[in-house]
Structure 1
Amino acid sequence: MKIAMVGTGYVGLVTGTCFAESGNDVTCVDIDQKKVDMLLGGEVPIYEPGLTELVKRNAQAGRLHFTTQLSEAVADSQCAFIAVGTPQGDDGSANMGAFWKVVDSLAPILPDDCIVVVKSTVPVGTNRAVSERLRELTGRVCDVVSNPEFLKEGCAIDDFTKPDRVVVGVERPEPAEVLKELYKPFLRTEKPFLSMGLESAEMTKYVANCMLATKISFINEMANVCDGVGADINDVRRGIGHDARIGFSFLFPGVGYGGSCFPKDVRALAAVAAAHKVESQMLDSVDKVNQAQKTVLFSKLQRYFEGDFSGRTIAIWGLAFKPRTDDIREAPALVLIDQLLAEGATVRVHDPVAMDNVKQIYGDKITYWEDQYAALEGADALAINTEWNEFRNPKFDLMSKNLTQPIIFDGRNLYDPAKMRDHGFHYEGIGLR
């Protein structure tokens, strides 16, 4: 199948590459010439494990192409995917400017039988509006399909090639059959292909992310309560996780969620609800709890040092909002850095892949260390923000030696408190007894 993929961001590049890997002819188009030149040269502008190898292999095989020319990408295509960003606007709603520019640009060049597939996360009602817009601009009825993505940064290729389900929203069954054939190689283990209405598919994307965000905010709030009453959140988590109605997924307490999806989608769905005069108390609370949770590590540090950070140096391990990505959008570590700098502390940071992105924000206000142990030298405490695997079994003796005093504030509960006590550390996690 010949496919056009408009947008080479995280979703578009992963989706286009995986479709090419299954034998399709895919042309990815982007208005950013620098990004296209990078891709043509075999470089990938985002960090995603395994993606660079897939891009190179499929480009060399002649199945994956990159261009800035939309007409070149769309010509003779059976499906034109829209995968451009819909970032958060000032009022919390999705900024749809780039999206509608793509729709308007597609109209005069769209082949008669080409299906427009909306992969971008868009407000409910957008796909129907796209259909109406294309009808007005082309003078004919164009098939528009909602096909929300459910990719997790850090394991997006596995998520795409081994999906829990594929969701499409359609107005008639024929385009759904085309998409079902396209996704067939990834559904061989009897995972469902779910066809539904346009609005239902749009809602499915938002509701899925909001549900997961809710679980994170809930367990984080419970961890804070455990801190107050002397309970251990890990015991509590095990106690509730074995209940089949609850499960263990997304029940790991920490310093809040970040990234490009959960924060934006929670606020965007709240904005959609408000636009339809529906009060979204749950969504507003989830966002409020998460924003507060990002300050928990600073509060623990502030309490330990009795509010005096003058002359103090704090080391931070982990800058990305989660492991296996360099994405720092809405990352809790940035909140901690801002708070420490505001109090006059010196900040030393280490992250396996995200330091260049952080450097673009802070420049020489903080120092960056490629070696995680070197980052601890002369620091009065270590704050852990991201659960990278290389942090899980560190050299505790070297850590204790490099720190001026053995103090760790762990925002991801990586270590056992009893063992840390045996190593001679003052150790505080989130909700740990």
Structure 2
Amino acid sequence: MRIAVVGAGYVGLVTGVGLAEHGHHVVCVDVDAARVEAINAGRAPIVEAGLDELLARHAGERFTATTDIVDAVAASSVIFVCVGTPSRPDGSIDTSFVQAAAAEVGAALRPGHSVIVKSTVVPGTTDELVTATLTEASGLRPGEDFGVGANPEFLTEGQAVADFLYPDRVVIGGDDLALSALREVYAEFTGVPLVQTNARTAEMIKYASNAMLATAISFTNELANLGAALGGVDTTEVMRGVHLSRYLTSHAPGRAGLASFFEAGCGYGGSCLPKDVAALTALGDQVGSPLRVLQAVAAVNDDQPSRLVDIVEHELGGLAGRRVTVLGLAFKPDTDDTRCSPAFPVIRQLRDKGADVVVHDPVVGAEAVADSPGVTHSTHLAVAVKGADAVVLITKWEQYQALPGLLAELDAKPLVVDGRRVLEASSVARYAGIGR
């Protein structure tokens, strides 16, 4: 099929090259000319495992990028909308980019096209805002002249390419024209469960999925905080026992995928969980059905960085004039995305309490803390930890498994505050873990 993807961010770019890998001819549209040029040259503008290889294989062949949305839509039978939906101050989502994209697509729309919203939007957005905008811009009849549908993404940054190529499910919703087009788009995804429903339900499946994951993280952190207050309770051991529940274990050896979210830590971040929990909570308030559990989920998550700073302050007997090294700026390993990373509130609170802060991340550069006075970025892990009074581990980068060996070589052993519980307590001289 000939497919247009509007938006060349994490979702749009991975979707585009993923569909090209499955045999489709894809053109990706973006307003950033420099980004388009890089993509056409086979250079990925984001860090994502496997993306460089896919681009190198398909750029200029089955996959191209352009700034011309009119030509892209005209040459395609299916158009995916993959633009951002950032949070407003009240937590609701800003759909202005989706509406603007729909207006541009609508102006170039022709009978037989199907427009599919892959952006994360609250239930009703595709049926109402997007359909109305497309209809007004095109003068065509939805459901008769053109199809409208929703096809939410379930991509985890750092493994998004693998998630797209080998999904655990494909969710499609919309009118008959859109559903028919989407079944054809995913025809080669053999053996993958296909959930076919209406657009509102498809949109809700995305939010329900992320709300579940967000709830799991904050639920475990509440247990961690309670266990720490009681004393003598190690939440890592508690959850190790919980993980053995048959509801969480797979038939194959090892843990079920859900288990990784039931771990004590310094909180979730990224572009999905914080925004989607806020959006769903705001939606509940708007319709008079407040989601109190999700309000609590967000509140617990917002408090977790403070818990980590409190541990450092307590163990050191104060932070004024102390040197604290923060390891990890990305919200999770294998990505350069720093959106809503717990590292930044930790850094701010450490600075507010008078600490001198050094930061390190394997892929995130000094620009991430350029506007943070009193914060030094180090490109070498050994240099970052040398002379530190405390080392705070934020991101589960594989590189940080080398930390015990590096610290063993130092004369003065710093306190290690493990915000992700990835190190063995006995592996370092002075250890404190969140929820322990």
Question: Fold conserved (TM > 0.5)?
Answer: yes
Alignment-derived partner of residue 378 in structure 1: 387
One of 184, 187, 212 as aligned partner of 1:184: 187
1:137/1:406 Cα in 2 relative to 1: closer, same or farther (>3 Å)?
A: closer
Given that 2:116 and 2:178 are in contact with CA atoms closer than 8 Å, whether structure 1 keeps it comes out as: no
Deviations 1:357-398 (A, max 9, x none): 523443x63222222111011111111001111212x25353
* 2:414 is the alignment partner of 1:426: no
Q: Secondary structure at the match of 1:80?
A: strand
* Paired AA for residue 183 in structure 2: K
How far 1:177 sits from its partner (Å)?
Answer: 2.8
| Alpha-carbon distance in 2 for matches of 1:133, 1:387 | 43
Alignment-derived partner of residue 210 in structure 1: 211
CA RMSD of aligned residues (A): 1.6
* Paired AA for residue 423 in structure 2: Y
Alignment-derived partner of residue 79 in structure 1: 78
* 2:390 is the alignment partner of 1:391: no
| Alpha-carbon distance in 2 for matches of 1:134, 1:206 | 24
One of 158, 173, 176 as aligned partner of 2:162: 158
| Alpha-carbon distance in 2 for matches of 1:98, 1:403 | 54
| Alpha-carbon distance in 2 for matches of 1:319, 1:207 | 27
One of 311, 316, 320 as aligned partner of 2:330: 320
Deviations 1:156-193 (A, max 9, x none): 01111111110011122x4323212211223x2x2211
Show the 5 A alignment for 1:244-263.
244-247=246-249, 248-263=259-274
1:400/1:311 Cα in 2 relative to 1: closer, same or farther (>3 Å)?
A: farther
Alignment-derived partner of residue 343 in structure 1: 353
1:275/1:395 Cα in 2 relative to 1: closer, same or farther (>3 Å)?
A: closer
Alignment-derived partner of residue 19 in structure 1: 19
| Alpha-carbon distance in 2 for matches of 1:82, 1:48 | 20
Alignment-derived partner of residue 100 in structure 1: 99
Alignment-derived partner of residue 256 in structure 2: none
| Alpha-carbon distance in 1 for matches of 2:410, 2:179 | 59
Given that 2:41 and 2:59 are in contact with CA atoms closer than 8 Å, whether structure 1 keeps it comes out as: no
How far 1:274 sits from its partner (Å)?
Answer: 1.2
Show the 5 A alignment for 1:43-82.
43-60=43-60, 62-82=61-81
* 2:342 is the alignment partner of 1:332: yes
Structure-1-length-normalised TM-score: 0.93
| Alpha-carbon distance in 2 for matches of 1:371, 1:182 | 45
Alignment-derived partner of residue 233 in structure 2: 231
| Alpha-carbon distance in 1 for matches of 2:6, 2:342 | 31
* Paired AA for residue 415 in structure 1: L
How far 1:356 sits from its partner (Å)?
Answer: 4.1
Show the 5 A alignment for 1:127-142.
127-129=126-128, 130-141=130-141, 142=146
Structure 2 runs not aligned, ≥5 long:
250-258
Alignment-derived partner of residue 147 in structure 1: 151
Alignment-derived partner of residue 200 in structure 2: 199
One of 366, 383, 386 as aligned partner of 2:375: 366
Deviations 1:386-411 (A, max 9, x none): 1111212x253531444743310000
Alignment-derived partner of residue 253 in structure 2: none
Given that 1:328 and 1:357 are in contact with CA atoms closer than 8 Å, whether structure 2 keeps it comes out as: no
Given that 1:124 and 1:272 are in contact with CA atoms closer than 8 Å, whether structure 2 keeps it comes out as: no
* Paired AA for residue 284 in structure 2: A
| Alpha-carbon distance in 1 for matches of 2:97, 2:366 | 26
* Paired AA for residue 99 in structure 1: V
Deviations 1:321-356 (A, max 9, x none): 100011111101111111111122111111111134
Q: Secondary structure at the match of 1:301?
A: helix
Alignment-derived partner of residue 222 in structure 1: 223
Q: Secondary structure at the match of 1:289?
A: helix
| Alpha-carbon distance in 1 for matches of 2:365, 2:406 | 22
Structure-2-length-normalised TM-score: 0.93
Given that 1:318 and 1:333 are in contact with CA atoms closer than 8 Å, whether structure 2 keeps it comes out as: yes
Deviations 1:211-254 (A, max 9, x none): 11000100111111121222111221122112123452411211
* Paired AA for residue 211 in structure 2: C
Alignment-derived partner of residue 254 in structure 2: none
Alignment-derived partner of residue 296 in structure 1: 307
Show the 5 A alignment for 1:400-419.
400-402=408-410, 404-417=412-425, 419=426
Q: Secondary structure at the match of 1:294?
A: helix
**Number of equivalent positions:** 421
Alignment-derived partner of residue 267 in structure 1: 278
Given that 2:99 and 2:133 are in contact with CA atoms closer than 8 Å, whether structure 1 keeps it comes out as: no
* 2:41 is the alignment partner of 1:29: no
1:66/1:397 Cα in 2 relative to 1: closer, same or farther (>3 Å)?
A: closer
* Paired AA for residue 194 in structure 2: F
Given that 1:374 and 1:402 are in contact with CA atoms closer than 8 Å, whether structure 2 keeps it comes out as: no
| Alpha-carbon distance in 2 for matches of 1:55, 1:361 | 33
* Paired AA for residue 280 in structure 1: L
Q: Secondary structure at the match of 1:327?
A: coil
Deviations 1:294-321 (A, max 9, x none): 22210101112223x2221111111111
| Alpha-carbon distance in 2 for matches of 1:416, 1:397 | 12
Given that 1:326 and 1:357 are in contact with CA atoms closer than 8 Å, whether structure 2 keeps it comes out as: no
1:352/1:144 Cα in 2 relative to 1: closer, same or farther (>3 Å)?
A: same
* Paired AA for residue 267 in structure 2: G
Given that 2:388 and 2:414 are in contact with CA atoms closer than 8 Å, whether structure 1 keeps it comes out as: no
